[in-house]
């Protein structure tokens, strides 16, 4: 690596330069001294010419004038050397401000453009994981970054996949660890009560119909229950593809859920699975009751672009199956609870470890919640309480008739 002359001189003083570097530096110093001497001599000749023109050329016996002239030359020489030094110093400072300081400031803040692979940067990796984990219906795994220095970046977040087929890109900036998007709703998570299990009493062992058959239990799901769901679905347009949040009446083990999902449509459905990540919260000190507050975290099932990132780099030991390969074993892997548990817990732990990224996501779960969710799934397995799917009115009404479904909430929005 090339050294600056300042670094080279410091090493020269310490005797740390090799012979070739020493010779090169000494030649450079000699060249600068020669240039300085030449400029001083030129000044002296100009001074002599001035004295001649004024008719006051100092004589050999005029000691005072000779001394004055010598002092003047010494002063000129000193100022010339000082000017050269100041010029070099100013140049060095300017170069430092232009090329070094902006990059140094970058080191203290989240860098969305940090290269993790040939076609992979930091933010698109973080968003690929986060969008699968927390944004049903969309996958965002491509972020274009322009580094403006001093911890500031312009970004363009593109959408690679949407369950409904509607694609929305957004531009914004990351400025010293703070994210600003010119459409902030793009990365907004669905409302907490988008599934009917929101604030349901118990730990999920009973069905919702059993829970809400009790007089003192109030439904908190946004769809309003089976009857309200039906009325809303009947008012939908026949040909529009909707993003539907389907609440299961009973929580299903993952492999049972896969069989159920596969039975809904002969061509198969692409879906986002909502996974139980805790037993809820105790309401009273005596432990008389608990309420289930789902985090609405999950993963895509049957969506190749949602899980495949061949050629991407990540810590495969800490995050196994974070981005599974798409091959002849994919169908078997998608149906395997063991495999998809590794995938889901890797999504959780990876996101928990990206604390700078999490701090920019306004409604994201915190790192502790994500780690606890991973611990829970590793101990209890995958239990699914709902799913998001893109479907038209006719299929949604058919799904609602299934006794395993409690309610459905629909939106035309990409989220």
pLDDT per position as a tens digit, 147-193: 888 789 999 998 776 777 777 888 899 998 888 888 878 888 988 88
Arithmetic mean of pLDDT, 220-231: 86
User: Is residue 293 in some structural domain?
Assistant: yes
201 burial class (0-12, 13-18, 19+ CB within 10 angstroms)? middle
Among the candidates 154, 187, 220, a domain finishes at: 187
Tell me, what's the pLDDT at 415? 45
More confident position, 6 or 284: 6
The pair of structure tokens assigned to 299 is 């993963």
Whether residue 54 sits in one domain with residue 171: no
Whether residue 212 sits in one domain with residue 178: no
Whether residue 181 sits in one domain with residue 40: no
Whether residue 95 sits in one domain with residue 159: no
Q: What is the pLDDT of residues 31-65, one digit of tens each?
A: 777 776 666 666 666 655 554 554 555 554 454 55
More confident position, 35 or 106: 35
Whether residue 160 sits in one domain with residue 129: yes
Whether residue 257 sits in one domain with residue 362: yes
Whether residue 163 sits in one domain with residue 25: no
User: Is residue 372 in some structural domain?
Assistant: yes
Range of the domain at 84: 5-106
User: Is residue 343 in some structural domain?
Assistant: yes
User: Is residue 56 in some structural domain?
Assistant: yes
Whether residue 212 sits in one domain with residue 125: no
Tell me, what's the pLDDT at 305? 46
Task: Report how many domains make up the chain.
Answer: 3
Arithmetic mean of pLDDT, 228-251: 93
Mean pLDDT over each residue of the chain, to the nearest integer: 80
Tell me, what's the pLDDT at 40? 63
Arithmetic mean of pLDDT, 123-145: 91
Kindly give, in sequence order, each residue whose CB lies less than 8 Å from that of residue 182, ignoring residues fewer than 6 positions away.
Answer: 170, 171, 172
Whether residue 101 sits in one domain with residue 148: no
Angle between helices 337-353 and 254-264 (to 10 degrees): 110
Whether residue 287 sits in one domain with residue 263: yes
Among the candidates 187, 219, 240, a domain finishes at: 187
Tell me, what's the pLDDT at 181? 87
Given the DSSP bridges, would you call strands 297-301 and 271-275 parallel, antiparallel or unpaired? antiparallel
User: Is residue 195 in some structural domain?
Assistant: no
Tell me, what's the pLDDT at 325? 78
User: Is residue 192 in some structural domain?
Assistant: no
Tell me, what's the pLDDT at 404? 94
- Regarding pTM above 0.85, the answer is no
413, pLDDT greater than 80: no
Tell me, what's the pLDDT at 343? 95
User: Is residue 194 in some structural domain?
Assistant: no
The pair of structure tokens assigned to 48 is 């002599």
User: Is residue 193 in some structural domain?
Assistant: no
Arithmetic mean of pLDDT, 318-330: 83
Tell me the C-alpha distance between 313 and 124, whole Å.
12
Among the candidates 161, 187, 213, a domain finishes at: 187
Arithmetic mean of pLDDT, 258-278: 83
Whether residue 100 sits in one domain with residue 73: yes
Whether residue 364 sits in one domain with residue 259: yes
Give the number of other CB atoms < 10 A from CB of residue 228. 16
């Amino acid at each position: 690596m090339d050294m600056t002359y300042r670094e080279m001189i410091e090493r020269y003083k310490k005797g740390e330069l090799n012979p070739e570097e020493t010779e090169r530096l000494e030649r450079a110093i000699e060249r600068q001294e020669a240039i300085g001497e030449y400029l001083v001599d030129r000044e002296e000749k100009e001074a002599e010419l001035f004295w001649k023109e004024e008719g006051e050329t100092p004589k050999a016996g005029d000691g005072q004038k000779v001394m004055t002239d010598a002092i003047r030359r010494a002063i000129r020489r000193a100022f010339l050397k000082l000017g050269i030094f100041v010029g070099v110093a100013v140049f060095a400072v300017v170069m430092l401000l232009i090329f070094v300081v902006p990059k140094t400031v970058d080191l203290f803040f989240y860098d969305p453009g940090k290269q993790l692979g040939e076609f992979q940067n930091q933010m698109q990796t973080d968003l690929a994981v986060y969008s699968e984990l927390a944004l049903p219906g969309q996958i965002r795994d491509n972020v274009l970054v322009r580094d403006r220095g001093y911890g500031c970046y312009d970004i363009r977040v593109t959408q690679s996949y949407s369950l409904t087929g509607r694609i929305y890109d957004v531009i914004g900036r990351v400025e010293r660890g703070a994210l600003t998007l010119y459409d902030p709703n793009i990365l907004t998570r669905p409302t907490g009560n988008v599934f009917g299990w929101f604030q349901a009493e118990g730990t999920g062992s009973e069905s919702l119909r059993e829970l809400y058959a009790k007089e003192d239990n109030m439904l908190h799901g946004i769809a309003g229950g089976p009857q309200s769901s039906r009325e809303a679905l009947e008012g939908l347009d026949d040909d529009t593809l909707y993003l539907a949040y389907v609440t299961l009446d009973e929580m299903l083990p993952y492999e049972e859920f896969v069989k159920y999902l596969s039975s809904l449509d002969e061509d198969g459905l692409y879906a986002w699975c909502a996974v139980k990540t805790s037993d809820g919260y105790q309401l009273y000190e005596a432990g008389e009751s608990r309420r289930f507050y789902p985090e609405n975290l999950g993963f895509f099932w049957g969506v190749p672009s949602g899980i495949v990132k061949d050629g991407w780099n990540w810590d495969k030991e800490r995050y196994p199956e974070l981005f599974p390969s798409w091959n002849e074993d994919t169908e078997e892997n998608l149906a395997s609870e063991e495999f998809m548990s590794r995938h889901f817990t890797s999504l959780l732990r990876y996101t928990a470890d990206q604390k700078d990224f999490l701090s920019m996501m306004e409604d994201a779960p915190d790192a502790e919640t994500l780690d606890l969710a991973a611990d829970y799934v590793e101990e209890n397995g995958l239990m699914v309480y709902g799913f998001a799917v893109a479907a038209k009115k006719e299929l949604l009404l058919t799904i609602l008739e299934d006794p395993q479904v409690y309610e459905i909430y629909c939106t035309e929005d990409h989220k």
